[in-house]
Amino acid sequence: MSVDQGSKKSSSMSIVLILLGILVISLLALVIFVDPVKIHPDLTLTATLATGTPEATPIGEEPITSPVVNINGIAILGGVMVLIVLVAVYREILIHKRAEK
């Protein structure tokens, strides 16, 4: 009876790991293939420019860019690390199945 339940448990764990792997791969594809959202200028900045308030940037220097950082590389590396861990856990499940037989 316990051997049958152990077999069901390991097969359900295999299915869960495969589904998690598919989810991680789909999230990685989302990060890679979807273009980032364009950020619109701040409404307060637009209002001050429309009223004619002088800017605080010195003459001859470029205006300060927005602090938006591209984190695609971090997300991709994190996804790859998750896939590596899922493959290692799946391998241990397969080894455990063989040891029981």
* Tens-place pLDDT, residues 33-73: 887 777 665 555 555 555 555 555 556 666 666 666 778 88
Query: What pLDDT score was predicted for residue 44?
Result: 56
* Residue 7: inside a domain: yes
| 65 found inside a domain | no
Q: Does residue 31 form part of some domain?
A: yes
Residues of the chain above pLDDT 90, percent? 30
- Looking at per-residue pLDDT, the higher value among 11 and 86 belongs to 86
Planar angle of CA 25, 31, 32, nearest 5 degrees? 90
Residue 71: per-residue pLDDT: 81
Note down the domain range covering 17: 2-57+71-100
Q: How far apart are the first and last CA of the chain?
A: 15
Total domains in the fold of the chain: 1
